[in-house]
Amino acid sequence: MAILPSLPKHLQGPSVWALYIIGFIPAAFAFYLGASGQLPGNPVKEFEHLLGIWALRFLIATLAITPLRDLVGVNWLRYRRALGLLAFYYVLMHFLTYMVLDQFLNVTTIIADIVKRPFITIGMAALVMLVPLALTSNAWSIRRLGQRWTKLHRLAYVITASGALHFAMSVKVVGPEQAIYLALVAVLLGWRAVRKPYLRWKRQAAPPAAPRRTVSDAS
């Protein structure tokens, strides 16, 4: 049974657009802080960090939609595409910040970094894998690709795991923040492994549906 009342139909579409707007607030705020000189320490690193961490949060939120529905009956499927696309835009902004503000578009250094620094290689791989998912996140691709769409979008698990690993490897010593993100991703991946048996068990444990009353029953 759903624990939250469902949104009236006329608000469902606008609520997705509201999510896009809300989703871009952290980026806009980080940009404002950067442009007005209010980012602490190294402003470029801080800006890069904010975009990277929000990318990871949106990736995790995207993967959390299915377990939320399975376990507590909250159906937020309509927000999954927006969350996934927000993750993609944040990774892209994080990457652009790295390329332009951090490396000043020095292609040689960027390529050397991607090849030689494992945490950047992993981050780059995650970005490359995100591109086909973002490009096929529309209704037309879902119809066209059928079952292949579902298979392709399972990459979201690999991407999120890569994102969390990239974060953990970007620091010298893994602290509580990195550990929390790694644990969250591990739980979501673990859920994927036990989901099918759990749903089978839930179907079997559910009481049989009550017979419907007909007009003749009432008379």
CB neighbours of residue 112 within 10 Å:
13
Helix (H, G, I), strand (E, B) or coil at 147: helix
What is the distance between the alpha carbons of residues 52 and 91, in angstroms, rounded to a whole number? 6
Q: Which is nearer to ligand HEM, 19 or 161 (by Cβ)?
A: 161
Q: How far is the CB of 118 from ligand HEM (least distance, A)?
A: 12
CB of 154 to ligand HEM, least distance (A): 16
Q: Cα separations (Å) of 167 from 4, 56, 182?
A: 34, 9, 9
Of 33, 53, 101, 145, the one binding ligand HEM by CB under 6 A:
53
Between 86 and 126, name the residue whose CB sits nearer to ligand HEM.
126
CA distance 168 to 159: 14
Of 74 and 152, nearer to ligand HEM (C-beta) is 152
State the nearest-atom distance from the C-beta of 206 to ligand HEM, in Å: 38
Per-residue interface string for the shown chain with ligand HEM, residues 22-51, x marking contact by CB under 6 A: -----------------------x--xx--
Enter the DSSP assignment of 42. Answer: S
Structure tokens at 13: 């579409």
Among 126, 156, 165, 185, binds ligand HEM (CB under 6 A): 126
**Contact between 91 and ligand HEM per CB under 6 A:** yes
Tell me, residue by residue from 158 to 197, as one string, x for binding to ligand HEM by CB under 6 A and - for no binding: -x---x--xx--x---------------------------
Query: By CB under 6 A, which span of 4-12, 92-100, 148-156, 198-206 interacts with ligand HEM?
Result: 92-100
Nearer to ligand HEM, 7 or 174 (CB): 174
Give the residue with the Cβ less far from ligand HEM, 65 or 156: 156
Question: For the residues of 58-97, what is the DSSP string, one character each?
Answer: HHHHHHHHHHHHHHH----GGGHHHHHHHHHHHHHHHHHH
Rounded to 10 degrees, the C-alpha dihedral 151/155/161/162 comes to 150
The crossing angle, in degrees rounded to 10, of helices 9-35 and 80-97 is 10
Contact 160, 60 (CB under 8 A): yes
Residues of this chain that bind ligand HEM (CB under 6 A): 45, 48-49, 52-53, 55-56, 91, 94-95, 98, 114, 120, 123-124, 126-127, 159, 163, 166-167, 170
